[in-house]
Chains A and B, each alone.
Chain A
Amino acid sequence: MAGGDESALGALYDRWADAVNALVVRIVRDEAEAEEVVEAVFWQAWQQAARYTTDRGAPGAWLLAMARSRSLDRLRALRRRRDEQPVDDSVFDNQPAVGDPLSELDANERASRVVSALQHLPDEQREVLELAYFEGLSQTEIAERLGLPLGTVKTRARLALRKMRDRLDALREVEA
């Protein structure tokens, strides 16, 4: 793709469009807005392919990082447009009990591991983690949103991510 081969863009799109869309929909929560963001993500990937290096992670991770960044930008713009009305989180209170279909088996395994790792977190830690990752809120904003002291938010976020990392490592070792 870095050499300007548009068929590589097509292959990247075929492989990752649904996964990118799932992340964007999860963050933006508006399918029409999400579609614009997804298209912009792939166009950005096409334009920046020459600058991609493996130290940015696997292509999928690179693409999803761009998708998250653009989605959070769009979410913030939507919030401003909606006069800072907070997004209704009730739909996402619980993670699905079983893995969700993604575009291939490896993705299924990844999704299943992540969901499993998230389910092992106490609810209050998972909540902070999801607000940080999927809504891009700062520690102060999370504290305000949840009505908690800033120190509590910091502790929960740090514990949550370390536990999640350890759980993912453990699952990887079990698979190996």
Chain B
Amino acid sequence: MSTPNERDEVFVALPDLALGLLPAAEAERLMSIVATSQSLQAELASLRGASNALAHGVPAAPIAADRKAAMRERLMTRAVSVKLDSAESTSTTRTPTGTTVTTPTFSATLKLEPRESRSTPIIREVQIPARLSLVQRISPFLAIAATVAFGLAVFRLQDIMQQRNDAEDALRVATVEATRTSAQLAISDSLIAAMSGANVRVVDMVSTKKLAPGAKMFWDRVANRWTMVTHDLPSAGEGRTYQLWLVTARAEKISAGTFNTDARGRAVVQATYVLAARDLAAIAITEEPTGGSPQPTGTILVAGAATQ
């Protein structure tokens, strides 16, 4: 049991526990006291909720669409592969493999010898030496025939097992390919929908310099979906990233995420954000430190006015 003084001391330190600020031994000591009081448990739970909520207050950083799709594909492929491996190992324990089949073959062959030697006393009992000598004569041939038959059966079984393994490999490859294709199709469908819907407004963004970089923003005003495609925009340098901004009529700059371009200067960025049609004044891209900035600090590289 804990004393009121101990509970008071723990109550004061509960934020330290919720934030994970305490050394393990101290945290354990406090938790043992928390466990004795429902009010301390409730207070700790609500403080932990507040602490966890901090994760939702970070600036948006959507993953570039191509890298997001690639990561999804890797995860799905890995999950499917592990699942298939697991299923295979389970079935192996139930189904004899080539090795386990071979073992009884040899044991069966070896068992012929004691059976043969055991037949001698039995034959002596019934005393029919003529038939005995016949059996003795054909026994080696029977043994060879049985061994050959077993060998052929094992060979055939191994062949069947190999065919089964080949079929399983083909199925695994096909499943992975189907998953990949399905993921790519879903991304393509999503992009097509985001760029071609009846409610999509297009904002052309042009470079502020004479060079070629440019971008188009597709704004689905019903789904509140923003899809931006860049071209000829060189990759941001080491420790830098591009950041997309929605500029409102009141000159607020809203970050729509950070991104980088591929070797051909392309990037596809998607975000969902609710903004009334009349509130959008412009869209711009700046270069910022990695991780993005709360407000633009770099020069505007590409921009487009929402004049429509």
Chain A residues in contact with chain B, CB under 8 A? 4, 6, 9-10, 13-14, 17-19, 21-23, 25-26, 29-31, 34-35, 38-39, 42-43, 46, 57, 61, 64-65, 67-68, 88, 91-105, 107-108, 110-111, 113-115, 117-118, 129-130, 132-134, 136, 138-139, 154, 157-158, 160-162, 164-165, 168-169
Determine if A46 and B79 form an interchain contact, defined as CB atoms under 8 angstroms apart.
Answer: yes
Determine if A154 and B16 form an interchain contact, defined as CB atoms under 8 angstroms apart.
Answer: yes
Residue of A nearest to B56 (CB): A110
Tell me if B261 counts as interface (CB < 8 A to partner A): no
Tell me if B20 counts as interface (CB < 8 A to partner A): yes
Between-chain CB contacts (< 8 Å), 15 pairs: A4-B83, A6-B80, A13-B75, A18-B61, A26-B59, A43-B75, A64-B52, A67-B55, A98-B254, A101-B256, A102-B60, A103-B272, A132-B19, A134-B54, A161-B47
Interface segment, one of B65-73, B94-102, B148-156: B65-73
Determine if A22 and B254 form an interchain contact, defined as CB atoms under 8 angstroms apart.
Answer: no
Residue of A nearest to B239 (CB): A30
Digit string of B1-44 for contact with A (CB within 8 Å is 1, else 0)? 00000000000110110111111000000000000000000000
Residue of B nearest to A166 (CB): B50
- Docked complex Cα distance between A160 and B47 (Å): 11
Residues on B with C-beta less than 8 A from A117 are: 53, 57
- Docked complex Cα distance between A30 and B54 (Å): 20
Determine if B54 and A165 form an interchain contact, defined as CB atoms under 8 angstroms apart.
Answer: no
Residues on B with C-beta less than 8 A from A103 are: 62, 272
Residue of B nearest to A105 (CB): B274
Determine if A10 and B72 form an interchain contact, defined as CB atoms under 8 angstroms apart.
Answer: yes
Chain B contact patch, size range: 35 or more
Residues on A with C-beta less than 8 A from B230 are: none
Residues on B with C-beta less than 8 A from A165 are: 46-47, 49-50
Tell me if B207 counts as interface (CB < 8 A to partner A): no
Residue of B nearest to A47 (CB): B82
- Docked complex Cα distance between A151 and B116 (Å): 92
Tell me if B183 counts as interface (CB < 8 A to partner A): yes
For the A-B complex with A138-B22, A154-B16 known, give 19 more contacts whose Cβ atoms are closer than 8 Å: A6-B79, A9-B75, A9-B79, A19-B55, A21-B61, A21-B62, A22-B60, A23-B55, A30-B290, A35-B71, A42-B75, A96-B294, A97-B295, A101-B257, A107-B56, A110-B56, A132-B21, A134-B54, A165-B50
Determine if B53 and A114 form an interchain contact, defined as CB atoms under 8 angstroms apart.
Answer: yes
- Docked complex Cα distance between A136 and B21 (Å): 8
Q: How far is the CB of B268 from chain A (nearest CB, A)?
A: 13
Residues on A with C-beta less than 8 A from B257 are: 18, 101
Partner of B258, one of A31, A118, A138: A31
Q: How far is the CB of B224 from chain A (nearest CB, A)?
A: 8
Residues on A with C-beta less than 8 A from B13 are: 158
Tell me if B78 counts as interface (CB < 8 A to partner A): yes
Determine if B52 and A65 form an interchain contact, defined as CB atoms under 8 angstroms apart.
Answer: yes
On whether A157 and B272 interact (CB within 8 A), knowing A17-B71, A22-B60, the answer reads no
Residues on A with C-beta less than 8 A from B53 are: 110, 113-114, 117, 164, 168
Determine if A43 and B254 form an interchain contact, defined as CB atoms under 8 angstroms apart.
Answer: no
Q: How far is the CB of B100 from chain A (nearest CB, A)?
A: 27
On whether A95 and B19 interact (CB within 8 A), knowing A22-B58, A110-B53, A162-B47, the answer reads no
Tell me if B271 counts as interface (CB < 8 A to partner A): yes
Tell me if B260 counts as interface (CB < 8 A to partner A): yes
Tell me if B273 counts as interface (CB < 8 A to partner A): yes
Residues on B with C-beta less than 8 A from A96 are: 59, 254-255, 294-295
Determine if B55 and A102 form an interchain contact, defined as CB atoms under 8 angstroms apart.
Answer: no
